[in-house]
Structure 1
């Protein structure tokens, strides 16, 4: 599994995909900063037991106490539709996280690993505008999900 984080670190560095450091040997994790169309956010990839890779992104916004109930409803609605990974939060400080736990096949190559990470980053980037709209009060959680479904249909 160690080679998975090494491959990902090298791949991210070659493609200049955010800032990345060396994988942390003790914790078996890799941290980097993703840059999407709709924002930039920190990502942590951690080796799980066996052949599991945990990818967790922290969305680049802090939810004020007054908006946490609405954002919690949005999280619930998005998770119902989720195919790969899901959102959690807002936590005690108002942060939202997107987490995906993926099984890595024994013969996984670099392209397969890259696709796994890119799918996670695309999921976060695609949903960020919904969180921004609900926090700003421009949309209800229901309206935000309907907007996402319309965009997905025509993409």
Structure 2
């Protein structure tokens, strides 16, 4: 198998950049020192090799980065189908799930198609894998009714 030397260089440059950024942050350095000391004790008690400081610093930096930026979307963020359900229930709170299906089938969110055939009722999204079956649609309707405090 042939390896591209530019990918190795890119990897080591990225690793070096992360190390330099991490070494400027005292909280990350402290976390890395703690990880190394725990690893050293563990290696002495159980055998093995303790964690290298460079590796510990990079892992601490990446963990910190993940904690700050990879929180996911907010609880209020929803997809286009759920957003359409939310809008319709806000306008007409008494709509049944079947009526919501019919209304949204007539005017679906852009790129989405409401289908009924021998496979059943389902929604096809604009991208592969974005399909929603009728049961999931009904569950989304129920969740939105609860969110809007609409009683049956």
TM-score using structure 2 length: 0.23
Larger Rg: 2
TM-score using structure 1 length: 0.22
**RCO comparison, higher one (Cα < 8 Å, 6+):** 1
